[in-house]
Amino acid sequence: MDKNNEKETSNVLEMTDKDKLKAIEKAIADLNEDTSYENVAYTLTLLRKYMTTELIVAVRGGNGGLQLAPVKTSDDQKFFAMFTSFDEQLKGPTKVQSTYEVSLEKMFEFALNSEGIDGIIINPWDKSFRVNLQMIKIVLGRN
């Protein structure tokens, strides 16, 4: 392992989950400003690096228990929504929702195994990032 990779690995281990969520938010904000291939690749790499980090998901009561409520986009795709903070979740049309914290990795797996779901959308109400099923496979190393 070269010194740059070693330093980067130790920095990731020293980061708090709050720091990791801020890094994800910044990468998504940068991607919304410049949608270059390099920024997409960087953001996907960051998500892979922080896969065990927990984000917030909103749930609703359903038949026999709690269910994730997919977000339908303007192009009729359905994504499970994840949020980097409660402030991001509160920007949506429904202010009060039950929430849980779930790792990116678990939500990626859940999206891949869910019928009719096109992926995950992080912070759907503002500067968002759609992670479609193909991108999820790339992040999980299954491409």
What is the DSSP track for the chain? Answer: --HHHHHHHHHHHH--HHHHHHHHHHHHHHHHH---HHHHHHHHHHHHHTTT-EEEEEEEEETTEEEE-PEEPTTS-EEEEEBSSHHHHHTSS----EEEEEEHHHHHHHHHTSTT--EEEESTTSS-EEEEHHHHHHHTT--
**Interhelix angle 37-49/17-33, nearest 10 degrees:** 170
What's the pLDDT score for residue 96? 56
What's the pLDDT score for residue 44? 94
Better-scored residue on pLDDT, 66 or 120:
120
Share the mean pLDDT of the chain. Answer: 85
Mean pLDDT along residues 86-92: 84
Two tokens at 68? Answer: 């994730």
pTM equals 0.83
Percentage of the chain modeled with pLDDT above 90 = 59
Query: What digits encode the pLDDT tens for the residues 93-138?
Result: 776 567 889 999 999 999 999 999 999 999 999 899 999 999 999 9
Better-scored residue on pLDDT, 126 or 62:
126
Mean pLDDT along residues 36-56: 93
